[in-house]
Amino acid sequence: MARSDRLVRVTFSKRISRRSQLRSARGQWATLQRGCPLPRVSAVCQNHWMQIREAIPEDAPSACIVLQRSIAELCGADHRSDPSILARWLGNKTHENFCAWVEQTDNSVLVAVENNDILAVGSVTDAGTIGLNYVSPDARFWGVSRALLRALETRAAERGNNQCSLTSTETARRFYVSNGYVENGPPLGGFGTSSGYPMTKALTTFARAEAKGLDGPEGPS
In CATH, what number is assigned to the domain containing residue 135? 3.40.630.30
Is the per-residue pLDDT at 15 higher than 90? no
Q: What is the rounded average pLDDT of the residues 83-94?
A: 96
- Is the pLDDT assigned to residue 215 strictly greater than 50? no
Is pLDDT at 172 greater than 70 in this prediction?
yes
Q: Which domain holds residue 96?
A: 7-211
Alpha helices per DSSP H over 24-143: 60-69, 76-79, 83-90, 95-103
For the residues 9-28, what does the mean pLDDT come to?
31
Taking residues 149-156, report their average pLDDT.
Answer: 96
Q: Helix, strand, or coil here: 35?
A: coil
Q: For the chain, what is the domain count?
A: 1
The number of C-alpha atoms within 13 Å of 168 and in the hemisphere containing its C-beta is 25
Report pLDDT for 211: 60
Kindly state whether residue 24 falls inside one of the protein's structural domains. yes
pLDDT at 157 over 90: yes
pLDDT surpasses 60 at 11: no
Residue 216 inside a domain? The answer is no
Q: How many CB atoms lie within 10 A of CB 44?
A: 11
Number of H helices, E strands in the chain: 8, 10
Residue 218 belongs to some domain of the structure: no
pLDDT exceeds 50 at position 206: yes
Taken in order 107, 215, 133, 174, the sign of the CA dihedral is: negative
Predicted confidence at residue 50, as pLDDT, reads: 83
Instruction: With a cut of 60, say whether residue 25 has pLDDT above it.
Output: no
Q: Residue 194 falls within a domain, yes or no? A: yes
pLDDT digits (tens, 9 = 90+) for 112-152: 999 889 999 999 999 999 999 999 999 988 889 999 999 99
User: Residue 219 falls within a domain, yes or no?
Assistant: no
Would you say residue 158 lies in a domain?
yes
Residue 2 lies in a domain: no
